[in-house]
């Protein structure tokens, strides 16, 4: 193939040179969203037909102009979590999910970096690793998916294909409910990045140049961790009824204690238990233990509460945020 | 041996116009790039590249010239639109195009193609496979002209 335009002078007086039939040929062009594959040749040849002096039809081909399609470097990164990812304070290996798409027209390796220290959020997740979804199931599989190591396993993506990439982070122990922390994933073409149009001579797929596309050949996006921490608050109140109807704390008076456990925040608290010792100088009134207004037996049996001999103990189980449980019991002043 | 090699080389020399008769034809392809200069004005440059990337705007220019001693009559110039290039038009109203690989010719607005559902729809620029100029007047000795069309790298 001749890929240079010829000077017009060479057109003159070359009738005896054999006609070199060159047809427009682009052997592996594909209808691709990312465009013609890098390394494809675009060849243009025109033909003229005319009647010569003798009246016979004649045909002449032009020179062939060949242009090689260079490699366009484009990438896009997008967070693919459906929303904030709920975490607990101090949690490790919390997963954010991203997709990295090669928007260029040639196979390209991409270097990945993750950053949890950007501003604009409430806490900084500590990024502990970047993991490639090597089994392609879109979910993080510990020990199965490959941990990314910059420079040694930069993922190579074919044009128009995507890879799922996970960021694993630890959440600070001090983070509190509803706080949000961002972590971002950056993918950059290994061939090079820069302003759109920046060219890397000879470094494109197929030996042509590589040219930075509209994305600058790098892209990033953020995922968000959100702390879903529920907290339990316990409030204790007492009311006294004297033996003669007064409210004085005199011997024989009955004290009713009300313990109200309230869960606030987000989520559910599991295995909530309330225990309260019987105050010195008082005696537990048998059969006085209630939960949500229902009496609980004093024995350690099928219900949620019991009298231990020195105090009461009630298991509340799982309590959702925004709800509360009320326990009452009575003692008599000795 | 050296002479033979030279002779072969001469044969292989890229030849702009194989003047089988008396008309020469030279094809040139330019890429147009629009950039914003320091004054904030957009400037369109036309360059002759070896390399293009998808989305580049190409200008195909055909130069013909009658190098013979007699007028050339019935001159027809045909340029298949290369694969990987999407035809985007020509300023030359005398051109006709084909959307079926050169079987039928006409103004783009008069042509139809079969859509994905089998029904025919009006042809669009991207459907064009060939462009052709039919010169109504003989080209006199020494007469020359320039024709052009545009395309975008797919």
**ipTM of the complex, rounded to two decimals:** 0.81
Distance CA A260, CA A263 (A): 10
pLDDT of residue B38: 80
Task: Show Cβ contacts of residue B73 under 8 Å, excluding neighbours closer than 6 positions.
Answer: A50, A51, B138, B139
Q: Please check whether residue B53 lies inside any domain of the structure.
A: yes
Residue A9 three-state SS: helix
Angle at A219 between CA A213 and CA A225, to 5 degrees: 165
Per-residue pLDDT of chain A (334 residues; tens, 9 = 90+): 333 433 333 333 333 333 333 333 333 333 345 689 998 999 999 999 998 777 788 899 999 999 999 999 999 999 999 999 999 999 999 999 999 999 999 999 999 999 999 889 999 999 999 999 999 999 999 999 999 999 999 999 999 999 999 999 999 999 998 999 999 999 999 999 999 989 998 888 877 789 999 999 999 999 999 998 888 899 999 999 988 888 888 888 999 999 999 998 888 888 888 999 999 999 999 999 999 999 999 998 889 999 999 999 999 988 998 999 999 999 999 9
Nearest residue, CB atoms, B20 vs list A6, A15, A42:
A15
Q: B85 CA to chain A: closest CA distance, Å?
A: 8
Q: Please check whether residue B141 lies inside any domain of the structure.
A: yes
CB contact under 8 A, A45 and B27: yes
Q: What's the pTM?
A: 0.69
Residue B61 contacts A, CB cutoff 8 Å? no
Q: What is the CATH number of the domain that holds B149?
A: 2.60.40
Q: Pairing relation of β-strands B57-66 and B95-98?
A: unpaired
Q: Please check whether residue B15 lies inside any domain of the structure.
A: no
Q: Please check whether residue B1 lies inside any domain of the structure.
A: no
Rg (CA), chain B: 19
Residue numbers of the domain that contains B99: 21-153
H or E, element range at A326: strand A324-333
Within 8 A of B82 by CB-CB distance, chain A residues are 24, 26, 42-44
Contact present, B20 and A15 (Cβ < 8 Å):
yes
Q: Which CATH class is domain A230-333?
A: mainly beta
Residue A24 contacts B, CB cutoff 8 Å? yes
- Would you give the end-to-end CA distance of chain A in angstroms? 111
CB contact under 8 A, B28 and A40: no
Burial of residue A13 (CB within 10 Å: 0-12, 13-18, 19+) is exposed
Task: Show Cβ contacts of residue A40 under 8 Å, excluding neighbours closer than 6 positions.
Answer: A26, A27, A28, A29, A68, A69, A206, B84
Instruction: Please give the order of strands across the beta sheet that includes A305-307.
Output: A268-277, A311-320, A305-307
DSSP secondary structure of chain B: -HHHHHHHHHHHS--SB--SSSEEEEEEEEEEEEEE-TTS-EEEEEE--SEE-TT-EEEEEEEEEE-SSS-BEEEEEEEEPPTTEEEEE-S-TTEEEESSSSSS-B-GGG-EEE-TTS-EEE--GGG--EEEEE-SSPBPTT-EEEEEEEEEE-
What does the block give as tokens for A292?
């949500």
Q: Please check whether residue B142 lies inside any domain of the structure.
A: yes
Residue A271 contacts B, CB cutoff 8 Å? no
Q: A39 CA to chain B: closest CA distance, Å?
A: 9
CATH architecture of A73-227: Sandwich (2.60)
- Would you give the end-to-end CA distance of chain B in angstroms? 45
Q: What residues of chain B, 121 to 140, have a C-beta less than 8 Å from chain A? A: 139
Residue B116 contacts A, CB cutoff 8 Å? no
- What is the mean pLDDT, run by run of 10 residues, along chain B of 154 residues? 46 42 88 82 83 90 91 92 93 89 92 86 93 92 93 93
Q: Which ranges of A61-199 does DSSP label H, i.e. alpha helix?
A: none
Work out how many domains chain B is built from and give that number: 1
Q: pLDDT of A13-70, one tens digit each?
A: 333 333 333 333 333 333 345 689 998 999 999 999 998 777 788 899 999 999 999 9
Q: Please check whether residue B103 lies inside any domain of the structure.
A: yes
């Amino acid at each position: 193939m001749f890929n240079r335009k010829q000077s017009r002078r060479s057109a003159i007086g070359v009738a005896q040179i054999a006609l070199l039939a060159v047809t427009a040929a682009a052997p592996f062009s594909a209808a691709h969203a990312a465009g013609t594959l890098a390394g494809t040749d675009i060849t243009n040849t025109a033909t003229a037909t005319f009647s010569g002096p003798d009246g016979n039809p004649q045909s002449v081909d032009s020179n062939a102009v060949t242009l090689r399609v260079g490699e366009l470097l484009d990438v896009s990164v997008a967070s693919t979590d459906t929303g904030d990812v709920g975490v607990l304070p101090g949690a490790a290996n919390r997963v954010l999910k991203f997709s990295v798409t090669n928007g260029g027209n040639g196979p390209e390796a991409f270097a990945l970096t993750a950053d949890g220290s950007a501003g604009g959020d409430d806490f900084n997740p500590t990024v502990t690793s970047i993991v490639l979804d090597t089994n392609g199931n879109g979910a993080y599989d510990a020990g199965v998916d490959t941990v990314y190591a910059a420079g040694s396993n930069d993922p190579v993506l074919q044009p128009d294909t995507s890879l799922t990439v996970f960021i694993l982070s630890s959440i600070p122990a001090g983070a509190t409910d509803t706080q949000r922390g961002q972590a971002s994933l950056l993918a950059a073409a290994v061939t090079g990045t820069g302003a759109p149009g920046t060219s890397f001579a000879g470094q494109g797929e197929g030996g042509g140049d590589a040219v930075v596309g509209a994305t600058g050949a790098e892209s990033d996006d953020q995922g968000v961790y959100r702390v879903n921490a529920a907290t339990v608050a316990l409030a204790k109140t007492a009311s006294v009824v004297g033996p003669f109807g007064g409210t004085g704390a005199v011997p024989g008076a009955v004290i009713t204690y009300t313990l109200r456990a309230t869960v606030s925040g987000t989520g559910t608290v599991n295995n909530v238990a309330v225990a309260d010792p019987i105050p010195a100088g008082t005696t537990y009134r048998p059969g006085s233990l209630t939960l949500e207004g229902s009496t609980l037996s004093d024995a350690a049996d099928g219900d949620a509460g019991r009298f231990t001999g020195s105090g009461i103990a009630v298991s509340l189980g799982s309590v959702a945020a925004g709800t509360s449980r009320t326990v009452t019991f009575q003692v008599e002043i000795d | 041996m050296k002479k033979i090699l030279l002779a072969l080389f001469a044969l292989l020399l890229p030849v702009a116009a194989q003047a089988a008769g008396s008309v020469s034809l030279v094809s040139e392809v330019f890429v147009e790039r629009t950039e914003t200069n320091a004054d904030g004005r957009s400037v369109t440059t036309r360059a002759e590249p070896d390399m293009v990337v998808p989305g580049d705007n190409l200008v195909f220019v055909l130069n013909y010239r009658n190098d013979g001693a007699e007028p050339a009559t019935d001159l027809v110039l045909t340029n298949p639109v290369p694969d990987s290039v999407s035809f985007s038009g020509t300023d030359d109203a005398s051109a006709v195009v084909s959307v079926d690989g050169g079987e039928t010719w006409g103004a783009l607005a008069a042509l139809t193609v079969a859509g994905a559902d089998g029904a025919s729809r009006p042809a669009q620029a991207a459907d064009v496979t060939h462009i052709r100029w039919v010169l109504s007047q003989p080209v006199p000795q020494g007469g020359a002209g320039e024709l052009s069309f545009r395309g975008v790298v797919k």
